[in-house]
Structures are given as C-alpha cells and as structure tokens.
Amino acid sequence: MVLACPDKDVEISHRIEINFSPVKNCSESGIGKSTRIKHTSGMIGQVYANDQLDKYGLPIQTVIIKITQLNIYLQAMEKDEARKKMNTLGTQRIPFIFIIDFEMEKPRILTMQEAMEQELYFDIRNLQKLPDPGQIPFPLHWETLPVPFCIYQNGFDLVMQHIRHGNSYLLNLTYPTLVKTNYSLEQLFFISRAKYKLCLPGDFLVFSPETFIKISENQIFTFPMKGTIDASILDAAELLMNDPKEVSEHYTIVDLMRNDLSMVADRIVVNRFRYLEKIETALGGLFQTSSEIAGRLSRGWQERIGDILFELLPAGSVSGAPKKKTMEIIRAAEAGPRGFYTGVFGYFDGDSVDSAVMIRYIEHSGQQLIFRSGGGITGKSVSEKEYQELIDKVYVPVS
C-alpha cells in the first residue's frame, strides 16, 4: 500500500489505527506472517494480519493508515533548526515552550504567543493554559489491557542478553497498554494532579511526576526518578529503599546524570540521594525514589539553551547507559519509535527553565487510547517484577 503525501510544507504524522479485542494469553492469537506497509515519505511499518498480534503484542482486528495535518505552529522542525531557534530566543530572552520527542526527530518550539493561539494545553508549575473540560462524567471508568506477559518476556530476554554481553548495564524497557475510559484526554488533563501536564487534543496527554532539568540563577538541576512500588504492599517504603536491584539501578542513573551534567556545567554535586515521594492515583498510592543533582552554568547560558538541552537528550532515566548502544537495543526490543513518549517538554521564561520527562503518557491510536509505561532493566532484574511495575504505572494521578 502506497499513500500519496500532501504538499511538502505541510507536516504529516503516520499512525496505524488499531482496534483491539481482549486476549488472555499469547496462545489465543499466534503471530503469523506480517504485511509491510510503506509510505511515500520512506516510513516502513510492520503489521500483522487480522486476529494476529501487532508489534506490541496486542491483537489486531483492523489496520488503517491515517494521515493527520498539524497546525503550522506545531509543525516539526529539524533538530539543528530547533536548537538554533532556542538559542536565538534565549539570546533575546523571549519566553518559549519546547516539546521534544525521544528520537529528537520532530521537536516543536513555540513562543508564548504561538502557544496561546493553539489547541495546546499545559500546566508547568504556575504556568497554565487549561482546557474547557465540558460536563465531566462521574465516576471515572478506567480499564486496562496490558501487553501479554510472553511478549514482554521476549523483549526482556533480548535486553538481558545484551546486558550479559556488556552492551548495556541499565536500559529502560517500555510497552503499551490499551486503556478504556469514559473521559476524553482534555477531561483527564483537567482532573489529574501532577507537577507537569501537557495535552495535544486528539494526539497525546502527559501527566508527569518527573522533572528533567531546572535552571535558575546559573544553577542547573536534574531529578532522575528510579524505583516504584505499590504503596499498599506491607512495608512498601522499606522494601523499596532496601531492594538491592533498586539501589543498584539508582546508583547507575545518578552516575549517568552526573556525567551528563558535567558536559554542560561544572561543580557537579548530589544534593539529595534516593529520597522517597508518594503519588496518589485513582487506584491507590505509589512510592517512588528520586535524587537531586546540581551543577553551575557559566553566565550567559541563555544564549546556549538549545545547545544545553540537546546535549542532555535523551533523558538518561528513560534511556539507559551507555546511551548510544542502549538506544540501539531499545529500538530492537521495542520494535518501533517512541515518538513523544519519554521525550521532554518545558518552559523558558526568559531567565530560567523548568521541564519534565514525558512519562505517564497516553496517546490516541485511532479511536482507542494507549498508555505507554515501563521501567529500568539491570542485570539483577526479574521479568515478573518488571512487568508488574509496568502495570503499576498505568494510572491517572487523582486523589
């Protein structure tokens, strides 16, 4: 199947629209021969026939290629073009919002005037543009269908093979979960409680608890988050804080982020190590551990804000170490690009920066919703526990 593209100056997104039907295990829908779909832009996708499993291990009933046209201000730009625009705006101290995908292939940079004119909603600490949620249904209906465990196990085994061969020692492995809800993305945005929220209606929603970087008074801070447990488990906080795998993983990510900050700053220090936070969700509480790492930037950093951000990407907490090889393994294990999931977004106010990692992420797949989640894999990981952490992270943060 070959689709015609619109004019070159109009950005398009390529989306496989999938209708799902529940399956109990992989044996109900064996993976058969696949069909290749090529778009004239060069994108090649791999999908499976009806009643088979897609690349995520989810059952397919129908497959449709959908082309969507985006607003001119939300058009993607090349990485170098985005970097230069951020540097220019930073030099002129012009406030802007940045939205950068994981692969850094389609970043969006919008001045505040442009952002306010678009159908784009955000809540970054005290900076807000909120949607009209309309009549909110009550109660919230939230149903999930995670990827079958055998599919997760296949990806996990591939990652562990690379870890045993020394190609990676920490890798963030993610998979999608089908969610069914009576709320729209705008309504979920409105009721959710998170440090950072971003919504592109009809596309995706983020309610992230994780800060990427903050810059204030020539100081840069990062807050890697690693380690999650269901707070309802007996002695959950103690179990999380004393889990050897979680401790090892956190040491690794702190070391990685210290090295990352040293590429753009000096006087790197760990201000806080493995502090505990509790997040309330519609399904109960979660404990998570984070650390705070800081460094000093030279004066005039605003003129290099684009250089600084792209030097630090992708975020270490959602990729792994070493980054370059780990990124290759992620692409093989997850069988497709992440897009904006685990990218970053944030706000430059002319003098400081606040930003988030785009985790706790829901995206449209046709008429259905997919929640993307995952966790860090190390040599001490157990697949059943990592799979459960993936499931635990599929929530709406409401009290």
Q: CB of 168 within 8 A of CB of 322?
A: yes
Q: What is the pTM of this model?
A: 0.81
Using 50, 70 and 90 to split pLDDT, how confident is the model at 14? very low
Task: Kindly tell me if the per-residue pLDDT of 218 is higher than 90.
Answer: yes
Q: What share of the chain is helix, strand, coil (3-state, %, to 5)?
A: 30, 35, 35
Provide mean pLDDT across the span 1-22.
32
Task: Kindly tell me if the per-residue pLDDT of 20 is higher than 60.
Answer: no
Three-class secondary structure of residue 312 per DSSP: helix
Please tell me the CATH code under which domain 73-392 is placed: 3.60.120.10
Over residues 274-286, the pLDDT tens digits come to 999 998 887 788 8
**Residues spanned by CATH 3.60.120.10 within the chain?**
73-392
Q: State the average pLDDT for the chain.
A: 83
Angstrom distance (rounded) from CA 317 to CA 331:
16
Over residues 344-365, the pLDDT tens digits come to 999 999 999 999 999 999 999 8
Q: CB of 198 within 8 A of CB of 276?
A: no
Over residues 171-206, the pLDDT tens digits come to 999 999 999 999 999 999 999 999 999 999 999 999
pLDDT of residue 138: 85
pLDDT of residue 74: 60
Least confident piece of the model among 8-22, 82-96, 131-145, 309-323: 8-22
